[in-house]
Amino acid sequence: MIEDAWPQAAFDPRILQLPLIGTTAVQPKGTLFPQEINNLQRGYIKQDKSYYSGDNAPVYACAFLYNPSMVETTYTIDSSATNLTLPQYNRSPLDNGVYLIGLASTLSFSLLFDRTFEVNTGIPQGPNLPNSYPDQFPLPGGRFAAEDPRQIGVLADVNALKRISGITTQVASVSWTDANNNPQKSNVTGPMQQVPAWVHFGAAYAQNSLSYYGYISGIDVQYTHFSANMTPMRCAVALSFTLLPQASPA
């Protein structure tokens, strides 16, 4: 479930109330915008809990604004020496381990994100309107990152994908003294990593929806619309996902 993870900041409810099959927009008393009932099930990506050793370590996620219109899965046999694995029928009955390498199977899909309402109006969002939504995200080492989509637009969504794939994980800390003899410090982040994650196109682990286990192996972002000060408000993201032997649901 995405509720036990840290996704990006909530989407403006006005973009969620667009006419959809099976949804009805109603406006409860005391709220600024109509709310959805019979909500459309939106997908999400979430890191695998088992990747972390500590119970209090943050688990990052990225919620979909729109579900993809096409999901492509490719299954192949890779006979290269680096990826060749022993077939199950040739393994010893005593060997019940699971391969911890990427399979010769891939998943690809595209996502769209739109933060036009947030950037242009700056109205607080979230389930408890008019209260503002959480915009502080825990980072390794006890630090927190502020990512308000009213200020950075769809970078809030792109950064969520970066957190899932380990791009923003702190790998070092550098300290120095500036020209005025003031102490300065900056954090060094690492490259993309093979971080196990689940991607759910609908309800998690449901028989009538698609769920995959693997890691993000490619992120291609196209920023398609900007504000007057060049804040990116819309983007299209093409994701490549390398599948792994399925772990237990997490």
Q: Which residues in 83-106 are b (16+ Cβ under 10 Å) and which e?
A: eeeeeeeeeeeeeeeeeeebbbbb
Q: Which helix (H) or strand (E) holds 184?
A: strand 183-189
The distance of Cα 169 from the centroid of its chain, to the nearest Å, equals 14
User: 3-state DSSP helix/strand/coil percent for the chain, to nearest 5?
Assistant: 15, 35, 50
Predicted confidence pLDDT, tens digits, the chain (250 residues): 777 788 888 888 778 766 555 455 555 555 555 554 555 788 999 988 765 545 567 788 999 998 999 999 998 876 654 555 656 656 667 766 666 666 778 999 999 999 998 898 876 554 444 334 455 666 665 666 667 888 889 999 999 999 898 887 655 556 667 777 877 666 556 678 888 899 999 878 778 889 999 999 999 999 999 999 999 999 999 999 998 887 555 5
Structure tokens at 112: 């769209």
Q: Cα separations (Å) of 199 from 42, 144, 174, 188?
A: 11, 25, 35, 28
* Contact status, residue 186 vs residue 173, Cβ threshold 8 Å: yes
124 burial level (CB within 10 Å; 0-12, 13-18, 19+): middle
